[in-house]
Structure 1
Amino acid sequence: MELTFLFVEWLGKPAWMWLGFLGIVIALLTFDLGVLHRDNREIEVKESLLLSSLYISLGLAFGGLVWWQLGPEPAMNYVTGFVVEKTLALDNVFVIALIFSFFAVPRLYQHRVLFWGILGVIVLRAIMIGVGATLVAQFSWLLYIFAAFLIVTGIKMLVMKDAEPDLANNPLIRFMRRRLNVTDEHYGEKFFIRKAHPDTGKMTLFITPLFMALVLVEVADVIFAVDSVPAIFAITTDPFIVYTSNIFAILGLRALYFALAAMIHRFRYLKPALAIVLIFIGSKVFVADLLGLEKFPAALSLGLTFAIIATGVVWSLVKSRTEIERVA
């Protein structure tokens, strides 16, 4: 049997590397849904932290494979992208928690929404990254646009306070309620339900609040991808590194959600740290040019990124603990 197709290059890497990565992702999702969460149940904080540790370990282990196959610089770029994407995902957790609260999604079924949401993210990110990689390859000056966008975004995050999303007046929710048959009641794990229409009495297909929550989770990811995709392209333009670091970070988000949703208030100073990271990542594109470097050193980029985020995490935990002790 001919296996030459495995060595055909696609987006700069042989097909076997892409197929191997997709095989790992499919195996993890199958294990998650088919073994760990075959039945709907609530996920406790302890289990969430254990699963998160597993996903983070697997993500870093994949970075070791990247080092083995492609070398130290791609591996350090992968880990930098993984850390940045994982940190950006914290904002996503806050929004997802608001969506679940707004639609009163029972904890029993939140994992189901997140699982199907992750599948949608894998496809959507592939499309966005594929388009981005093609455009950057054709128009290299787009990197400077991405870099400038990151700097502006980081500055806005530092100086502007976030307003809580007004889901009651969200145009997408209003559109679904106006144009589709929507039921206000939950029907277990079902996204769709057939029941008698209140006006005609005919059996009609309705969407449930669980499906509306899923749609908003997918849209939220597209919005957050506007930050994360330019950020990773400012780190590296290798589509394989860009996509794998994004997906491994997102795979663990579902597991981490249940722990973070319970203690997101303790990471108050992480957002300013993330803003500084975005400014740094955007600035290093211009700094490399000013210093006459082909690329900003990957090791320095990873070290500074990790140091900034770690400082934000530690400072948040210390300050929140001090405030809790003061109140007690």
Structure 2
Amino acid sequence: MSHELMFFGGFIIFIILMLAIDLGLFSKGDKPVSFKTAAIMSTVWVLFALAFGLVLYFWGNELHNIHDIARLKEIIAKNYHNIQIIESDLAASIQIYNKNLTIEYLTGYVVEYALSVDNIFVMVLLFSSFGIPEKYYHKVLVWGIIGAILLRCIFIFVGAALIAKFGWILYVFGGFLVYTGINMFINRNTEEEVDPQNHRVVKFASKYFKVTHKMDGGRFFHLENGVKYMTPLFLVLLVIEFTDLIFAVDSIPAIFSITKDPYIVFFSNIFAVLGLRSMFFLLVNIIHKFHYLKVGLAFLLVFIGAKMLLHDWLEQLGFKTIHSLIIIIGILAISIIASLVFPKKENLTS
């Protein structure tokens, strides 16, 4: 356990340092983030995520302090890794384990990063509906990302504990993901709308706290006659956190279909969340061009859910995590290419 805590603690320290650097580059006063800056930071976060994959490839066994066959077999059984080791060769067995761990991490990262794109659709809508000036986007997203990390950390380790105690819950997750994917496909062309006055989070905040609908620069709270009021900037932050909580209900079960190791779930999830803010500024003005992406995400959720439901049967057929990675990348690639090759026709009104 000490090795796991040290590995986990080192990861958290690294993330805090990188987040501080990221915020230092982004948050120089209240001004819009340029496409160039967003592209640079998006690239940096992806490279760090890939570099962490290399760490797992060479030293992944250190995460669970695996230095003998008995410990290796214990961890494989505990986290349901679908691999065959060579009991007479510890070095080769650890290499097989580390390679599988890396593939699980990368597959989980791709899934979470792809599902994060759906968050961007909603964030654009929320900022527009609440009338938030573009120069304040980054401030809201800074605190939104920090809140998302804390919430997902709780979700992931609670989910892992539930799976360890109630194995059948994976089938519940699988059925839920299939339902969500089908529902997303059916409603793919539905125009989403947000009514700031009647949103459940805004209603809750208005009921129990003082709320003003006037902006006060980039402040979350406005002080008037000694009374502190929530501004629209703080309200949209609350709505974004609530929305991320809803998305986590889809994304976290999805990644548990890839790996049952809670640490790998956490690592891949957090790298995807950290890259979300820069990706938002990168895609905010072109996200509408990828109109088939929701269809791709719908198929992605159905595939992941079906994989959870048919896990035992697929395992008998020799279906590995690498096959999941290939299918997932294929679904996303097809949806992106289709969006570019067959652009959405604009509605022309006279």
| TM-score normalised by L of structure 2 | 0.83
Extract unaligned runs of 5+ from structure 1.
Answer: 1-6, 197-202
2: CA distance between counterparts of 1:78 and 1:150? 20
Cα RMSD for the two superposed structures: 2.0
Question: What is the CA deviation profile of residues 154-200 of structure 1, one whole-angstrom value per residue up to 9, with x for unaligned ones?
Answer: 1222223444133232122123234321122212221112112xxxx
2:35 alignment partner, one of 45, 55, 74: 45
1:88 to 2:88 alignment: no
2: CA distance between counterparts of 1:34 and 1:46? 16
Residue aligning to 2:146: 119
Residue aligning to 2:49: 59
1:228 to 2:251 alignment: yes
1:279 to 2:302 alignment: yes
2: CA distance between counterparts of 1:291 and 1:184? 54
Structure 2 residue matching 1:262: 3-state secondary structure: coil
1: CA distance between counterparts of 2:342 and 2:10? 43
1:143 alignment partner, one of 170, 174, 182: 170
1:289 to 2:283 alignment: no
Contact 1:284/1:296, CA 8 A, preserved across alignment? no
Residue aligning to 2:79: none
1: CA distance between counterparts of 2:311 and 2:204? 46
Tell me which amino acid in the other structure corresponds to 1:42. Answer: P
2: CA distance between counterparts of 1:166 and 1:116? 21
Contact 2:104/2:264, CA 8 A, preserved across alignment? yes
Tell me which amino acid in the other structure corresponds to 1:164. Answer: E
Contact 1:45/1:258, CA 8 A, preserved across alignment? yes
Matched residues, number: 308
2: CA distance between counterparts of 1:163 and 1:58? 36
Q: 1:323 to 1:292 in 2, by over 3 A?
A: closer
Residue aligning to 1:174: 203
1:164 to 2:192 alignment: yes
Contact 1:288/1:295, CA 8 A, preserved across alignment? no
Structure 1 residue matching 2:284: 3-state secondary structure: helix
Question: What is the CA deviation profile of residues 221-274 of structure 1, one whole-angstrom value per residue up to 9, with x for unaligned ones?
Answer: 001111101100111111011111111001011011112111111111111111
Residue aligning to 1:4: none
1:31 to 2:60 alignment: no
Tell me which amino acid in the other structure corresponds to 1:263. Answer: I
Contact 1:89/1:250, CA 8 A, preserved across alignment? yes
Question: What is the CA deviation profile of residues 209-232 of structure 1, one whole-angstrom value per residue up to 9, with x for unaligned ones?
Answer: 111011011001001111101100
| TM-score normalised by L of structure 1 | 0.88
Residue aligning to 1:15: 5
Tell me which amino acid in the other structure corresponds to 2:24. Answer: G
Contact 1:77/1:298, CA 8 A, preserved across alignment? yes
Residue aligning to 1:252: 275
1:212 alignment partner, one of 235, 241, 251: 235
Residue aligning to 2:213: 184
1:194 to 2:223 alignment: yes
1: CA distance between counterparts of 2:265 and 2:318? 16
Contact 1:136/1:143, CA 8 A, preserved across alignment? yes
1: CA distance between counterparts of 2:277 and 2:137? 10
Contact 1:41/1:109, CA 8 A, preserved across alignment? yes
Contact 2:221/2:230, CA 8 A, preserved across alignment? yes
Task: Give the percent of matched residue pairs that are identical in Structure 1 and Structure 2.
Answer: 40
Structure 2 residue matching 1:268: 3-state secondary structure: coil
Structure 2 residue matching 1:235: 3-state secondary structure: coil
Q: CA deviation at 1:295?
A: 7.9
Tell me which amino acid in the other structure corresponds to 2:227. Answer: T
Q: 1:231 to 1:291 in 2, by over 3 A?
A: closer
| Higher deviation after alignment, 64-73 or 206-215 | 64-73
Contact 1:288/1:294, CA 8 A, preserved across alignment? no
Contact 2:107/2:325, CA 8 A, preserved across alignment? yes
